[in-house]
Amino acid sequence: MSVNCSRVRAQVSLRLDDELSQLERRMLSAHLDRCDRCRVYADEVEEFTLALRAAPPMSLDRPIAVPSPRRVSIPRMQAGVAAVIAVAALGLASQMTPSSSGEASLSELSVTVTRFPTRAETEREFALLKRLPGRGPQSVASSTLL
């Protein structure tokens, strides 16, 4: 299927919703006049859409549950980025730090990897701070800003 046919097939739905400009409608009609496969597709979509719109609404026995998209965990992503940076630093350092044999040993390299606290660890720290008299998260946040 050509790029033109893909575009036309997307416009078939827009035509049914009366969302095409006059120029787009003419271009769509011209394509459908010369492309049998797109014309059959347009006829099927139009027939299905009109039947669906004419059907009476129905109530469902149970609700439809749509799963939420999977979210990326920020702490895991940070740990992954830190690991990539550490490996890159080791690779660069091994290329840049020659030893007597011309190669860098691991004992000569110094790499610091920072592990960020997880959300659960942060929430636990805030819960502990709330228990201290006069030292809630608000006062801690304001004192660290000063």
Q: What's the rounded Cα separation, in Å, for the pair 76 and 128?
A: 24
Token pair, residue 83, equals 């690991």
Q: Which residue has the higher pLDDT, 110 or 58?
A: 58
> Is 17 part of any domain?
yes
> Is 117 part of any domain?
yes
Is residue 109 predicted with pLDDT exceeding 60?
Answer: no
Domain interval for residue 50: 3-54
Residue 28, amino acid: L
Is residue 98 predicted with pLDDT exceeding 70?
Answer: no
pLDDT digits (tens, 9 = 90+) for 8-37: 988 998 999 999 999 999 999 999 999 999
Q: How many independent structural domains does the chain possess?
A: 2
Is residue 145 predicted with pLDDT exceeding 50?
Answer: no
What pLDDT score does 146 carry? 43
- Answer yes or no: are the C-beta atoms of 45 and 78 closer than 8 Å: no
Number of helices and strands in the chain (H, E): 6, 0
Is residue 14 domain-shared with residue 47, that is, in the same domain?
yes
Rg (CA), the chain: 31
pTM of this structure: 0.42
Whole-angstrom CA distances from 21 to 2, 14, 18 are: 22, 10, 8
pLDDT digits (tens, 9 = 90+) for 120-139: 888 888 777 777 766 545 55
Q: What's the rounded Cα separation, in Å, for the pair 90 and 96?
A: 10
Is residue 81 domain-shared with residue 137, that is, in the same domain?
yes
Q: Which residue has the higher pLDDT, 71 or 6?
A: 6
Beta strands in 2-132 (DSSP E): none
